[in-house]
Amino acid sequence: RYVQLLGTQVSLNLLDSEGWQLGPQLNFRPKRDSDVDDPVVARMRPLDSEVEFGGFVGYDFGAFRLEAEAGYR
C-alpha cells in the first residue's frame, strides 16, 4: 500500500500485494491564460482550472510497471 504524489497527481494504492496495484487518483490541472512569458503559450486559448477524479490499475514486474488509468473531469 502507498500514497504517491507526482506533480499535481495523487494516487492511493489500496491493495496489499507484491505486484498488483489498484486505487483512486486525484489530479489538479491549473488554469492557463495569457499571463505567461512564452509568446507561443500566450497565444493558446485560455483554460479554466479543473480537478480530475479517477482510478488506476497496474502490475509491477520489477524492471517495469504496466498501468491503466481512467478519470472524469
- Residue whose entry in the numeric block shows the C-alpha cell 517495469: 64
Instruction: Indicate whether 34 pLDDT > 80.
Output: no
Positive/negative CA dihedral, 62, 66, 70, 73:
positive
* pTM for the structure as a whole: 0.72
Please compute Rg for the chain using Cα positions: 16
- Rounded Cα distance between 16 and 50, Å, is 31
Q: What is the mean pLDDT of residues 12-41?
A: 89
Looking at residue 40, its pLDDT comes to: 87
Instruction: Indicate whether 11 pLDDT > 80.
Output: yes
pLDDT band at 38 (very low <50, low <70, confident <90, very high): confident
